[in-house]
Every structure is written in C-alpha cells, then in structure tokens.
Amino acid sequence: MTYRVVVIPGDGIGPEVVAAALGVLRKAAAKGGVNIEYEHCLAGGAALDQCGEPLPAATVAAAKAADAVLLGAVGGPKWDGVAPHLRAEKAILGLRKALGLYANLRPVRVWDALAPHSPLKAEAVAGADILIVRELSGGIYYGARKEAHVADAPDEAWDTEIYTAPEIERIVRVACRAARLRRKRVTSVDKANVLATSRLWRTVAERTAAAFPDVRLDHLYVDNCAMQLVLAPKNFDVIVTGNLFGDILSDEAAVLAGSIGLLPSASLGDGPGLYEPIHGSAPDIAGQGVANPIGCILSAAMLLRHSLDAKAAADAIEQAVEAVLAEGYRTADLYRPGLTRLSTEEMARRIEEEI
C-alpha cells in the first residue's frame, strides 16, 4: 500500500525545516519499507502571493484526500498588513476546521544531552518526557463573546466556555490511547473548584478512563499543574486538558526543552492528521541555514507513528535524533563551545546517516 502525504513548506524557515524533515522521512520510510507519495501544496503567505488567498481550495482538497499533512510554518511581517480574512494564520485555522482536528498532541522530551540547556536545573529535567493532549476545537476560544465596544454596554465584555460530554469523551480517549503506548498515566487538568465546565470535564474523564483499566487517571487543578511542571516535570506522563489551559500549559512545558526549535506537534481528528513544529516562521533567521530542523523532523516521526501506523520508522527517527544530540552536534540555537555546530541541512544529513 502507498500512503499519500501532503507537504506544505509555508513561509520563513518553513521551507528549510520541511526540506530537512523530508530527507529524514524518506530515509526512515525507505529503511522501514513504508511507501509514501508526496504532494507539495501552498498555504500561508506563499499561497497569498501566488493565488491571492492564504488557503487555496486545491490545498484543502489535497489535504482531505491524503493520509497526513506535514506543514512547516506560515506567515511573516511581509503579509502583516493584509485584510483580516487574508491573514496567513487563517490557513492553519481553515485546515484544522476542514480536517476536523480536535486533538493537539505536544510531546516535550528533555533529552539527557540537552538538559544543561533547560532554564531549570539539569538534574530536575533530564529525562522528563511529557505528552500534552489539548482539546483543540471547543471551549472558550469558540464560545459566544461580547466586545466592550458594543454601544449598549461599552464597559462590559465577556467570553463563554462551553464543553459537551462527547467533546470531552473523545479527547480523553485520545489521551488514554496515547498513554497505553507510554507509561500508562493520564493527568486530567481542570479548575473544577470554580468552573462548571471543569466539573463536567472531571466527571466525563472518570467515566471515559474507566474503559482503560490499565491506564491510571488522576486530576490536578490547572494552577497546581502550572507549578508542578516547573517543580517536578518528571512526574508527568500524559496531560489532558481543554483548549485554553492546554494552550498555556503547552507553552510552559515547551521551554523546559531548551529551544523552541526542538518541539513537534500533531493535530488529530478522525481523518488525516496535521503535523508541524511548534515554532513559527521565524523571519529573523529565515534564509540563513541556521534554523533547527529537529522540531519538524520529530513531527515527521509523529506522522509515521499516528497516521501511517509505522512505529518502527518513527522510533528510528527519534533514536537517531537522540544519538546525534548525544554525539554533540548542534544547530546555532543550541550551540556551545566544545560542541559541533551544524547548519540546518547538515543536521538533517547527520540524522539521515544515523538512521
């Protein structure tokens, strides 16, 4: 069988890190006997320049028909002045919607070799391995809101959070399934001492996790979770939470790893998944060959694992990344005297060789 992967390089450092990740993906797939056909598509600023819109219908159609989408990053100052409906970020929101993506997976691993780069003490973070599962399609970001400038009540504003049991159930199921492939612990994060949505969240999480007797579920209030991520990051396995808390906690957890350039993400629904590094288009370093491609390379590994059912090939990429870091190879963002500095392309080549 041949899988189809849509590739969207995007803007800024997007094309550089995607080219690097594709080389590694091709190598791992060839070695693991996974057949993949690639189709390059446009989105973001590049699409705006060539087609006059940030998310062309052809890209949406190709993504829907594919098994997975690999994305670099979109946007940049060149397109900051465009009308709101043409903004590059619309491309991501549009793709999420078209593909029905409701689960955002953000793994944060602190590789031993990189622990000294963490803002926390190396011994406190070395070996931390956390997967944050964030609900992506509901909650307060999508509820009704009132802006303060409306004439009848100019000094009042509000946002609404709505969650339904089916929305909570499906995201907790994603977390429990992911935990089964890991250390079998899920921490559900809410603010059930205050919020009604959180009380429903807690009840439904309990009920859903009961179908996974091999997975241990516990609960943490979001304020306590924010503290524990810094005090004892190694105590976490899988964290599952709503859209707002997940947005904040996943950025907090990301800094533990030492560079934004290292971290991958997956957004999953019931069809094709979308895989992208967590960083943006980084216009300040674009075109210089200095971007860290590891976030995009690990996104490709997640693509193999979650959308192509190619666990061995995914493991091979992750092991190669760990080995290359342990050997002291670094891109500019993580370079220190005594280590070996590589360009974006050289880092990809080194990881391919390791595979």
Annotated binding site for substrate: 96, 106, 134, 223
Q: Which two tokens stand for residue 97?
A: 């919607």
Which of Mg ion, ligand ATP, none has residue 306 at its interface (CB below 5 to 8 Å by kind)?
none
Angle of CA points 66, 67, 71, to nearest 5°: 80
CA 30 to chain centre: 25
Q: Which of 191, 237, 275, 333 is catalytic?
A: 191
Q: Which two tokens stand for residue 344?
A: 């974006």
- Write out the binding residues for ligand ATP, residues 6-65 only, by CB under 6 A: 13, 17
| Catalytic annotation present for 247 | yes
Conformation bin of residue 331: beta by default, left when phi > 0, alpha when psi is -120 to 50: beta
Rounded to a whole number of angstroms, the minimum distance from the CB of residue 124 to Mg ion is: 26
Angle of CA points 109, 19, 76, to nearest 5°: 85
Annotated binding site for NAD(+): 280-292
Nearest to 64 by CA among 259, 274, 247: 274
Q: Using CB under 5 A, which of the segments 85-93, 180-188, 280-288, 309-317 binds Mg ion?
A: 280-288
Does residue 330 bind ligand ATP (CB under 6 A)? no
Residue 42 buriedness (CB in 10 A; 0-12 / 13-18 / 19+): buried
| Catalytic annotation present for 191 | yes
CA torsion angle 289 292 294 296 (round to 10) = -70
Annotated binding site: 96, 106, 134, 223, 247, 251, 280-292
Rounded to a whole number of angstroms, the minimum distance from the CB of residue 292 to ligand ATP is: 4
Q: Which of 141, 142, 221, 335 is catalytic?
A: 141
CA 117 to chain centre: 21
- How many residues bind Mg ion (CB under 5 A)? The answer is 1
Q: Using CB under 6 A, which of the segments 230-238, 266-274, 278-286, 314-322 binds ligand ATP?
A: 278-286
- How many residues bind ligand ATP (CB under 6 A)? The answer is 16
Q: Using CB under 6 A, which of the segments 41-49, 125-133, 231-239, 280-288 binds ligand ATP?
A: 280-288
Q: Which two tokens stand for residue 165?
A: 């049991």
Residue 296 to residue 31: CA distance in whole angstroms: 19
| Catalytic annotation present for 223 | yes
Binding pattern for the stretch 287-326 against ligand ATP, x by CB under 6 A and - elsewhere: ----xx--x-------------------------------
Residue 256 to residue 235: CA distance in whole angstroms: 14
Residue 279 to residue 263: CA distance in whole angstroms: 8
Q: Which residues are catalytic?
A: 141, 191, 223, 247, 251
- Name the residues that contact Mg ion, by CB under 5 A: 280
- Name the residues that contact ligand ATP, by CB under 6 A: 13, 17, 73, 75, 260-261, 279-282, 284-285, 291-292, 295, 333
